[in-house]
Amino acid sequence: MPRPRPLLRAVAELLNAANGVRPLAREGYPTIGVFAFGWPTSEMSALYMLGSMADAVRRGLRGDFRGTRGRIALALTAVAWALLWLIQRRNMASQPHFEDPLRAALGADYQAIADKAKARRRRRFGIPPNDFVRRRYVEKAATVSYGPHGGANRADIWRRSDLPRDAKAPVLLQVPGGAWSIGMRRPQAYPMLSHLADHGWVCVSIDYRVSPRNTWPDHIVDVKRALAWIKENIADYGGDPDFVAISGGSAGGHLSALAALTADDPTLQPGFEDADTSVVAAVPIYGRYDWVSAEGSGRKEFIAFLQKFVVKRPFRTYRAVYRDASPILRLRPDAPPFFVLHGQDDSIIPVGEGREFAEALREVSTSPVVYAEIPHAQHAFDFYWGSPRAHYTAQAVEEFLSWVQATRAKG
């Protein structure tokens, strides 16, 4: 039986909690490890704290906290609990940082306007907070193929079982993240997808071709193909092909922003050039919007990653490819309304990416641009059920998209 090491364990718990309070690294490759350990802690701190307390009781009864080292270990563990409690309090208090940007950009009455669209949809509450909610909304028969590339072109249709087939419900396409090299639709964005489905939406969550097996622009071509499929087929599932919005996080944030800014671009729609791939709104979350600039935290490493695994072409020789893949360089006056969200403590994609993209888009677009910068939030802050920020994200996205729906119906 291994010898208990309470002091070493207490130091590890304290470092983990401190990393959840504020990432311990923000430059270079160490940020990957910092994110991996800090992400669950920063969003599920209450669960961590309860588990640690229960285990401390067990270890205390075993005698792990006897003697000087044991007492020091218990004191350090208590400090870790205090930090975890601080994280939970900050998370619970973050709701205004989702709502205030909407109010500032859309007007003080944005919720009342959004409610007009919601009133046309039946609303239910009381969804159990767990990762098995997909089974409540996605039947096996609703997993579809939207393109010719086998399992890479599969999609889940999220809808309530009682939604009429002629409901003309608003539709959201969810594009998963994963550094353009994973891209699994399950279990990303479950809190948002289940929230919207429960409130009468039809959501489509897709897989797409990923690197290094596939090469850019295969990723965005598949997103475009999914949009074309939705426009042609979503009415069969109760969705409205005339109201299709798009969202995604991380790489999905990049892809959703690029798709929204390149509607009907034939160069990104090989074989389906005439298909309608426009969207009524975009909600990119903690995305990468600049594939060109080498200035700023982590951007040199990022471009090196793109050259080796995603684009597979030298940046200096094929600069135009990287430019065309950058949403910040594809801005247009007729862009649809955007709701950009980013966490201040994002150690994978620095918050400057979201901030700079939103500012640049505001200068060009004639549509509303909402930017929400969430204090203390890590990358992928909307992933976990039970996370206050995941709940607030789902609510804010619904409010924004309902506002878009109501204003389109009015005008």
- Give the active site residue among 219, 346, 347, 376: 346
Q: How far is it between the farthest Cα atoms of the chain? A: 76
Which residues, 6 or more positions from 132, have their beta carbon under 8 angstroms from its beta carbon?
A: none
Closest CA to 365 of 251, 244, 282: 282
Of these residues, 250, 347, 387, 402, which one is catalytic?
A: 250
With 0-12 / 13-18 / 19 or more C-beta atoms within 10 angstroms meaning exposed / middle / buried, residue 290 is buried
The token pair that represents 234 in the structure block: 């979503």
Entry field: residues in the chain: 411
Rounded to whole angstroms, how far apart are CA atoms 383 and 339?
Answer: 18
Residue 346: active-site member: yes
For this structure, is 365 an active site residue?
A: no
Distance CA 251, CA 179 (A): 5
Q: Catalytic residue at 379?
A: yes
Strand partners, 145: 154
Rounded CA separation 117/280 (Å) = 15
**For residue 236, how far is the Cα from the chain centroid?**
27
For 14, residues 6+ apart whose C-beta sits below 8 A from its C-beta are 76, 77, 79, 80, 83
Amino acid letter, 205: S
Which residue of the set 97, 219, 379, 391 is catalytic? 379
Instruction: Tell me the catalytic residues.
Output: 250, 346, 379
